Structure 1
Amino acid sequence: MGDFRPVPDVLAYLGGRWRVDRTVRDVASRAEGRFEGATVFRPLDGGGPLHEESGTFTWQGAARPAERTLRFLPGARPGTADVRFADGRPFHDLDLTSGRYVADHPCAADLYRGEFTVRDADHWRTVWRVGGPAKDLVLTTEYVRER
Structure 2
Amino acid sequence: MGEFWPVPEVLAYLAGRWQVRRSVRDLASGDEGRFEGATAFGPLEGGGLLHEESGTFVWRGVARPAERTLHFLPGPAAGTADVRFADGRPFHHLDLTTGRYVADHPCSADLYRGEFTARDEDGWRSVWRVRGPAKDLVLTTHYTRVG
* TM-score in terms of structure 1 length: 0.98
> Residue type of the partner of 1:92?
H
What's the secondary structure of 2:134's corresponding residue? coil
What's the secondary structure of 2:124's corresponding residue? strand
> Residue type of the partner of 1:123?
G
Q: Is the 8 A contact 1:130 1:138 kept in 2?
A: yes
Write out per-residue CA displacement over residues 54-86 of structure 1, whole angstroms, 9 at most, x where no aligned residue.
Answer: 000000000000000000000000100000000
Any gaps of 5 or more consecutive residues in structure 2?
A: none
Mapped to 1, the partners of 2:9 and 2:122 lie a distance apart of: 15
Q: Which residue of 1 aligns with 2:94?
A: 94
Q: Which residue of 2 aligns with 1:75?
A: 75
1:46 shift after superposition: 2.1
What's the secondary structure of 2:97's corresponding residue? coil
What's the secondary structure of 1:133's corresponding residue? coil
Mapped to 2, the partners of 1:46 and 1:105 lie a distance apart of: 25
Aligned residues: 146
Mapped to 1, the partners of 2:112 and 2:76 lie a distance apart of: 22
Q: Which residue of 2 aligns with 1:26?
A: 26
Q: Which residue of 2 aligns with 1:65?
A: 65
Mapped to 2, the partners of 1:120 and 1:30 lie a distance apart of: 32
* TM-score in terms of structure 2 length: 0.98
Q: Which residue of 2 aligns with 1:37?
A: 37
Mapped to 2, the partners of 1:46 and 1:137 lie a distance apart of: 35
Mapped to 1, the partners of 2:47 and 2:4 lie a distance apart of: 26
Identity of aligned residues (%): 77
Q: Aligned-residue CA RMSD in angstroms? A: 0.6
Stretches of 4+ aligned residues off by more than 4 angstroms: none
Write out per-residue CA displacement over residues 93-126 of structure 1, whole angstroms, 9 at most, x where no aligned residue.
Answer: 0000000000000000000000000000000000
Mapped to 2, the partners of 1:62 and 1:97 lie a distance apart of: 39
Mapped to 1, the partners of 2:20 and 2:82 lie a distance apart of: 21
Write out per-residue CA displacement over residues 17-41 of structure 1, whole angstroms, 9 at most, x where no aligned residue.
Answer: 0000000000011100000000000
* 1:1-147 paired onto structure 2 within 5 Å: 3-147=3-147
Mapped to 2, the partners of 1:46 and 1:89 lie a distance apart of: 17
